[in-house]
Structure 1
Amino acid sequence: MKTLEIKEWGTIAGQQVFLYTLSNKNGTRVVLSNIGAAIQSVFVKDKNGNFVDVVLGYDTIEGYANDPFYIGTVVGRYANRIAGAKVDIDGTIWQLTAKEGGFHHHGGREGFNKKVWTPIAFDKTQGIGLMFSLLSPDGDEGFPGNLQVKVKYTLNDDDRLIVEYECHTDKSTVINLTQHTYFNLAGHNQGSITGHYLKVNAAQYLPVNDMIVPNGNLADVIGSPFDFSDPKQIGRDIDADDEQVALGSGYDHSWVLKNKRSPELLLAAQATESTSGRKLTVYTTEPALHIYTGNFLDGSVQGKDGYHYQRRDGFCLETQNFPDSPNKPHFPSAILKAGELFSSKTIFEFGLV
């Protein structure tokens, strides 16, 4: 039986924040919040039938309001990095908010991960869920155009969490959205994820420069630490003597799923954890899968159940466009013109090995 429970969580800047618990007939539960359109918890069973929360998160609104790691939230208006924090749209240069180092990162000082979204619940034959909506005004973090954003989460009885994005604008802009959940299939407070096995359906990845911005090349994964063509423990090559690994302090790179934007849904990756027997499979319409192995988690924030997340306690499978696409014409375009509709779909499917 599928259910939706709503709990008042508090307020921030006078805006109400809620927790929404979606449950399906299998007992799988997904907890969402309208702060950052966040995935706060995901409870899925292990091989013995025990349900455990397998995503990192916070027990308080303040955790999300002060979070420096984008844990569980939707990231935008442009996820990942843009070199020089500038974009050229139809011959006009737009200056975006920049981080130290001179690049734009994950939407700016107050990106979508810090916003309180407007929620609408739904219960349909295909599943139960939430639609979160947001208006990003013209000039927000330097981006042009009033951008209307919708993020729809659906939990179905196949233990699929479906994430769908829609955007439209009144002025040409750039868009790149992603879901920044950190997974640990052993449990959110079970330590390092380096023992997880990962398989990635990609023959190439995007090498980066010292700003962790793609240098414009597409490199073959074969013969490199970035080869996950066959299942491999995340930790096997994560500290390899390799320039790219060193630049990312581990994995903080995008794998190439396809070379253009299209509605085609592709198998992107599959992760497994042997002790619990849990499996996570990711499908997406996006051109890239950015894999981040929690290299900068440092124990400084207290997560759920009083646990302090340490380095590599979670991994992100961020489906998105290529980073720095606005500055690299040979990358898939990130421009959304007035009157056009941006749409994207990602599926996180939970199961057992």
Structure 2
Amino acid sequence: MSEFTPVVLSLKTTPSTELKLEVLPYGVTVNKFIVTKDGKSNDIVIGPEDPKGHVTQKYVNSIVGRFSNRIPVGTHAIERKGIKGEVIAYLNEGDAVSLHGGPVGWDALPWTITTTPQLFSEAEKAQIKALPEGSAAIFHLRSPAGDQGFPGTVDAEVLVALVPGFGETLGSAVIVYRAKLEEPNTVTPVNLTQHWGFNLDASLQDGPVTVQEHKLTIKADHIAELQPNSLPTHKFIPVSEVPAHAHAAKKIGEKMPHPGYDDYYLLAESLSSAALSTAPSRVPLEQLPTIDLIKDVLTPQTKAEKTIILSGEKSDLEIAFESNQRGTMFYSNAWGDAAKGARKKAHGGSGVPNAGDAYGPGTAAFIEYHHPIAAFLDPKNKDGEDTLITSDELYHNYVRCEVKVNAA
């Protein structure tokens, strides 16, 4: 299978209701996320017309790894549970930033489909198998020691699944990330996310492509303080002090800073702690045979509180998210350039690269759950959620995107 041939996952709950994902092995990229209700279809993620366009339109709906967001360029000593190592962060943004895992991150690599996953327990594999036929796939990648300057060989598996809905909910897209080190006595940072960008109205082709009229809720109480180059200071600012970042069903365009949003939101402590208590981001590797961390995630109706809600202004669609990560980046495609790349024909574009009708600023809402930026460099995280794993630990991260109709 070509890395640009989509793996098609579908879930039909009624003759006129369906969710469909097209996932590329290239970077586990969500090429399309199609919601069909009463015969009307909406592709709710932006992107190029040609799947190969993701090579140049980077970080559009792909995985990001080994490490999401930004790390200062240079050599960094790391230590967890007495095991020491070092990270050499390579430059790929500006003059001081290593972005999204380095020059050739996991977004730009071919993953393989596996039918014999090693990082899910037998109980978890049974639940995955019990999902409706054709609604789930697991992707695998082996990242060698030294890849982009990161220590240790990492085996990673990513479950992508569609889960049936309930009530007005059509269903959910679920992504579960697992990773472990191969070598003994090794430590490495791992902080994964899905860099997917949503526009719930674009398929209507009714006016300019924008999310500025979308309503957004982010249940966060702080945002990360950033340097001019977007590296973190490891300080956090109360949302109450910056009204532009108080998203409580606020229209994205209301009080939006120029040129848009590209900010990390720390979720309310009570919410992130509750999620991590039932779905920790690290577990002892020896517990892998007996764990079941996905039972609640794969059920039609979960108990977890939704921490982000996005609703379209013109469509009747609403998506709501949950995760076990401490926060999220919200990016409004602030640095998008309509002159570069292509826009899907389904979104009113020509589909032709560099034709001047691609996605400009404010055309998408990227929701990227992950632990804080460069968390392993913040001494306050020592022995806490520092994004480091050792050879005797399993990395676990999930995001669930629930699709609903007739949003209020």
Judged with a 3 Å threshold, the aligned counterparts in structure 2 of structure 1 residues 216 and 149 are, in CA distance, closer, same or farther, namely same
1:126 aligns with 2:136: no
> Which position in structure 1 is the counterpart of 2:99?
105
State the 1:291 CA deviation: 0.4
1:64 is matched with which residue?
A: 54
One-letter code aligned to 2:44: V
- TM-superposed CA distance for 1:227, in Å, is 3.6
Gaps of 5+ in 1: 1-7, 240-245
1:106-162 Cα shifts (integer Å, max 9, x gaps): 011110111010013697333421101101100000000000011111102211001
TM-score by length of 2: 0.76
DSSP 3-state at the match of 1:311: coil
**Identity in percent:** 22
1:148 to 134, 146, 155: 155
User: Partner residue of 2:193?
Assistant: 178
Change beyond 3 A, Cα 1:229–1:55: closer
1:287 and 2:326 are equivalent in the alignment: yes
Q: Is the 8 A contact 1:203 1:229 kept in 2?
A: no
Q: AA paired with 1:304?
A: K
Find the residue that maps to 2:213 and give its secondary structure.
coil
Q: Write the deviation string for residues 248-298 of structure 1: whole angstroms up to 9, x where unpaired.
A: x42111111247765265522001113111101010001111101101110
In 2, the alpha carbon distance for the partners of 1:85 and 1:226 equals: 33
Contact 1:266 1:285 in 2 (8 A): no
Q: Deviations over 1:148-180 (max 9, x none)?
A: 011111102211001100000122100110001
* Matched residue, 1:34: 25
Given that 1:88 and 1:326 are in contact with CA atoms closer than 8 Å, whether structure 2 keeps it comes out as no
Specify the alignment match of 1:4 in structure 2: none
Deviations 1:186-214 (A, max 9, x none): 02675111110001111111121111122
Q: Paired residue for 1:311, among 351, 358, 361?
A: 361
Q: Tell me, yes or no, if structure 1 residue 297 matches structure 2 residue 336.
A: yes
Match among 251, 275, 278 for residue 261 of structure 2: 251
Q: Give the corresponding residue for 1:78.
A: 67
Partner of 2:311: 272
Kept in 2, the 8 Å contact 1:82–1:326? The answer is no
Q: Determine the structure 1 residue equivalent to 2:109.
A: 115
For 2:376, what is the secondary structure of its paired residue?
Answer: helix
In structure 2, C-alpha distance between the alignment counterparts of 1:135 and 1:217, rounded to whole Å? 34
AA at the equivalent of 2:53: G
3-state DSSP class of the match of 2:55? Answer: helix
The code of the aligned residue for 2:150 comes to: F
- Asked if 1:164 is matched to 2:173, the reply is no
Whole-angstrom distance in 1 between the partners of 2:234 and 2:104: 28
Q: Give 3-state SS (helix, strand or coil) of 1:62's partner.
A: helix
- Please name the residue that 2:34 is paired with: 43
1:101 to 1:161, Cα distance in 2 relative to 1, 3 A:
same
Q: Provide runs of 4+ in structure 1 moved above 6 Å.
A: none
Say how many residue pairs are matched.
330
Partner in structure 2 of residue 206 of structure 1: 224
Give yes or no for the alignment of 1:334 onto 2:405.
no
Partners of 1:39 and 1:73 within 8 A in 2: yes
In 2, Cα distance between equivalents of 1:87 and 1:348:
35
Higher helix share: 2
Residue aligning to 1:349: 402
1:23 maps to which of 10, 26, 31: 10
Question: 1:334 offset after TM fit, Å?
Answer: 0.8
Gap regions ≥5 residues in structure 2: 116-124, 166-170, 281-303, 346-350, 352-356
For the residues of structure 1 that align with 2:366 and 2:75, how far apart are their CA atoms?
A: 26
Greater Rg over alpha carbons, structure: 2
